Amino acid sequence: MIAIIDYNAGNLKSVEKALHFLGQECVVTRDFHEIEQADKVILPGVGAFGDAMGQLEKYELDKVIREVTEKETPFLGICLGLQLLFEGSDESEGVEGLHILDGAIKRIPDQPGLKIPHIGWNSLNLRNNGRLFVGLEEHPYVYFVHSYYLQAKDEQIVKATTEYSTTIHASVEKDNIFACQFHPEKSGDVGLAILKNFAQLGGKA
């Protein structure tokens, strides 16, 4: 069973639909017990960093996220769900993130001819043998919608980058924690392959 954390932050149904398409059993929930008992957990999200952290804290979901990541349950953050795993964001000064991983969330720099937010398909540069990307071709295209991007502190956890005004750390992996700035659930066959790789990961024995 895969738990999709429900904290009133968009794109829940599209993630659920993609998992159902892959034949995966999943539940959209904010119930502590369901999340704790799940084989895998997904933190989706679209919207503002500060609002999202406020919702997680309101439902005390920040606590259960820390619990499941510490007990080595495979955990996937998507888009805003990636950003929330870090210590904070330029979008919401003074708001502390979950700080499960180390890195900065910065605004994409303005550049002539490039629109912000970054909306559309970009190719990934894969590196460091990310388990989410097993079986994919070298420069797969995925779908992004974001104005802020990750600069991870430890380059070794970065499994994919993309270029849009700057080098964006598009996916990270550390032990049981995975995250994507792009939307695999909106990235066609490539995105389904990424979600399938996550769904097939082995958890803690």
Q: Is the dihedral of CA 9, 90, 75, 61 positive or negative?
A: negative
| Residue 26 known to be catalytic | no
The residues near 112 (Cβ < 8 Å, ≥ 6 apart) are: none
Give me 127's structure tokens: 């590196």
Q: Give me the catalytic one of 16, 26, 79, 180.
A: 79
Residue in this structure with the two tokens 């502590």, named with its chain if needed: 32
H/E stretch holding 173: strand 166-174
Q: Bin 99: left if φ > 0, else alpha if -120 < ψ < 50, else beta.
A: left
| Residue 183 known to be catalytic | yes
The residues near 73 (Cβ < 8 Å, ≥ 6 apart) are: 38, 39, 40, 41, 176, 203, 204
| Residue 169 known to be catalytic | no
Q: Give me the catalytic one of 118, 146, 169, 183.
A: 183
Cite the active site residues: 79, 183, 185
